[in-house]
Structure 1
Amino acid sequence: MVTTPHEPPAHPAPPVYVIGGGPGGLAVAAALRGRGVRAVVLEKSDAVGASWRTHYDRLRLHTTRRLSGLPGLKIPRSFGRWVARADVVRYLEKYAEKHELEVVTGVEVFGVERSGAEWVLHATGGRRLVGGAVVVATGFNHTPSLPEWPGLDAYEGEVSHARAYRDPEPYAGKDVLVVGAGNTGAEIAADLAGGGAKRVRLAVRTVPHIVRRTTCGWPAQRTGI
């Protein structure tokens, strides 16, 4: 029997499950859908782009708008050259809508195991999902990691991870040490310094390579590429 586009196959192939509704997961799902493969995105939070929703308010992409979009949808020009965190979230929502992605929220996957030619996912609520393939796109920004510094238990001050930082208001008038001079650490330090902190110091283990974001309007990113 020949299956036509108007007739569902007698034994439809199981979908590809994409674990994670961030930029990577959405892009993979869109690419699969474009090839006619059913992809189901499983997101444990209540919306796509969960990690981006909880990043600090000042955050802007350090890559230009034109080079930061996902396949199949440009970031709107109205978002500016350096896209703000809130606009990244809006873009991810538009991306899922534009590509009509099948996103299931509130589902966390606890285990994946092979079963013959298929994969079995064990998820929230005792769900047992069977897929033809699994793409793990959980990223690395959702789980903070604090170093186990000697003497940390006896320290009486406040210690928090950048993941918990939103704005400088709680640190007004305080002496703050920011550990790490990557994009996040440097930007948070600048935010604190301009937001009322009494003193802001930056601790760096390895001397970083600091490059101007733009020179005479030319993005450093394009020179690197």
Structure 2
Amino acid sequence: MDHADLIVIGAGQAGLATAALARRNGFTRTLVLDSATAPGGSWPRYYDSLTLFSPARHSGLPGLRFPGDPDRYPTRDEVVSYLREYARHISADIRTSTTVTSAVRHGDTWLLTAEDGRQFTAPVLVAATGNYADPTVPVMAGGGAFGGRSLHAASYRSPEPFAGQRVIVVGGGNSAVQIAAELGAVARTSIATRRPIGWIQQRPLGRDLHWWLQRTGLDVAPIRRLLLKMPVTVLDDGRYRAALGDNGVDSRAMFTRLTDEGVIWADDTKEPVDAIIWATGYRLTFPYLAGSGALDDDRAQPLHRGGIATTVPGLGFVGMEFQRSFSSKTLRGVGRDAGYVLSRLSKGPR
């Protein structure tokens, strides 16, 4: 059985940022556990063409800037390379291929059990996973009858398998737009949304939006309640909107039901469809905390305030959307939240 001062579950951006800041908050031995074969979190599993909507200068973690031109928008593979270099850069014991199945508090200590039976203990635990493990697909009338290909964006990699087909991308966020834009070059593609897509200019007055967010303080403002009510929006410097138009991708109101051959649109028009890609987000999930008392009974969501568990001691969360601010789930924001969570957990019983 391994013992540490701090155990972090997850070696993605949130977990690595937490591990990097552990020593300055008094944790001398940090253990990071991750189910994947290498650090990087969910990034290696995203679609091939994914490009960040934040420039490199705003995409680094604490202590290591993102390399290259600071004004460029890094690709998925660049982010993966950066995170793996970051894992080598920090002083933490990172154990990959370690799937935690249970985390339970016994007195002053957390006991973690892995899928292979290994056990780990620590007085303090930070859960830095949960964002991209449970893809959500809305329940649609006739969904069980659809005979075409139906997949979540989590399973989408590239447009080539859909060449020459009729494809609908469901969703109005950044991923939906990026996927639809590239699909339009090889397939007859539409975006279906419940509300019109909300476009936000990427570089107002010649400066990237993230520069303005930092300069105005909105990037770190505790405005969670307001943001949760905002509609889904898409950041764009013009290229994705242009690509949709150039590739003939139209935007439509969400279809009302599925059929064995395709969809029925809001005007009752039936249309055959080969494939539907659901860019409809993910449900936050922490299966290893089931039975720990840290999750609510209705939706198994974390009970916390700013990332500090409110029902069990010695537990924090990092990397959740709007956890403390607009940027909490981003590369540029997880470091701030990790520092906040660790500073408070370090004051508790050790």
Q: Does the TM-score normalized on the shorter chain lie above 0.5?
A: yes
Alpha carbons 2:57, 2:70 under 8 Å: kept = no
The residue aligned with 2:11 is: 21
Are positions 1:145 and 2:115 aligned together? no
Higher relative contact order (CA 8 A, sep 6+): 2
- In the TM superposition, what is the alpha-carbon distance from 1:79 to its structure 2 partner? 7.6
- In the TM superposition, what is the alpha-carbon distance from 1:36 to its structure 2 partner? 4.7
Paired with 2:41 and 2:213, the residues of 1 have a C-alpha distance of: 30
Alpha carbons 2:57, 2:71 under 8 Å: kept = no
**1:187-206 equivalent positions in 2, closer than 5 A:** 187-194=178-185, 196-197=186-187, 199-206=188-195
**1:14-93 equivalent positions in 2, closer than 5 A:** 14-37=4-27, 38-78=29-69, 81-93=72-84
Q: TM-score, normalised by structure 1?
A: 0.88
The residue aligned with 1:10 is: none
Paired with 1:192 and 1:103, the residues of 2 have a C-alpha distance of: 38
Are positions 1:166 and 2:184 aligned together? no
Q: TM-score, normalised by structure 2?
A: 0.58
**Residue identity in the other structure for 2:78:** D
- In the TM superposition, what is the alpha-carbon distance from 1:209 to its structure 2 partner? 2.2
Report which stretch shifted further, 22-31 or 78-87.
Answer: 78-87
Paired with 1:165 and 1:76, the residues of 2 have a C-alpha distance of: 28
**Residue identity in the other structure for 2:44:** R
Q: Which runs of 5+ in 2 are unaligned?
A: 215-350
Alpha carbons 2:56, 2:73 under 8 Å: kept = yes
Paired with 1:170 and 1:27, the residues of 2 have a C-alpha distance of: 36
Paired with 1:202 and 1:31, the residues of 2 have a C-alpha distance of: 41
Are positions 1:181 and 2:198 aligned together? no
Identity, in percent, stands at: 38
What is the Cα-based RMSD across aligned positions, in Å?
Answer: 1.7
Are positions 1:220 and 2:200 aligned together? no
Paired with 1:90 and 1:139, the residues of 2 have a C-alpha distance of: 22
- What is the count of residue pairs matched by the alignment? 211
- In the TM superposition, what is the alpha-carbon distance from 1:51 to its structure 2 partner? 1.1
- In the TM superposition, what is the alpha-carbon distance from 1:174 to its structure 2 partner? 0.7
**Residue identity in the other structure for 1:18:** V
Report which stretch shifted further, 33-42 or 102-111.
Answer: 33-42
Paired with 1:161 and 1:124, the residues of 2 have a C-alpha distance of: 26
Alpha carbons 2:168, 2:192 under 8 Å: kept = yes
Paired with 1:212 and 1:57, the residues of 2 have a C-alpha distance of: 24
Paired with 2:88 and 2:70, the residues of 1 have a C-alpha distance of: 18
